Amino acid sequence: MPQGTSVVHPDAVIIPMNAFDEQGYRLGYGGGYFDRTLAALQPKPIAIGIGYEMFRVGTIHPCEHDIPMDFIVTEKGIHAMEEGRLRHIDAAACTERVTRLSAARRLPRAQPVGSAP
């Protein structure tokens, strides 16, 4: 981290995907950086995967350390988990889910990390 900067703990993250599956897991660039970051952040930020519909696969065969996305956005719209599968949702349903997730995770954070109360 550069000297003189504050640590940032985001309330939401946008994560690139090479592929994604029907359970909301993503295939990234092979380093596991996003999964480790999401696992370390508390409370967990809202995870939004961004990719193309043509890269949807049946399964990426997730490992124990893989973390599913809360939402996946493609050129065909917004997708979220529903009854164990990824389903297309509209903007109103997305707003409701973000509101519910934010309340459950106590987001947004009241104060930025490192700031004075």
Cite the active site residues: 26, 35, 66
Distance CA 103, CA 96 (A): 11
- The DSSP string of 31-54 is S-HHHHHHHHSSSPPEEEEE--GG
Q: And the tokens for 16?
A: 């690139």
What are the φ and ψ backbone dihedral angles of 10, each rounded to 5 degrees?
Answer: -70, 155
DSSP classification of residue 55: G
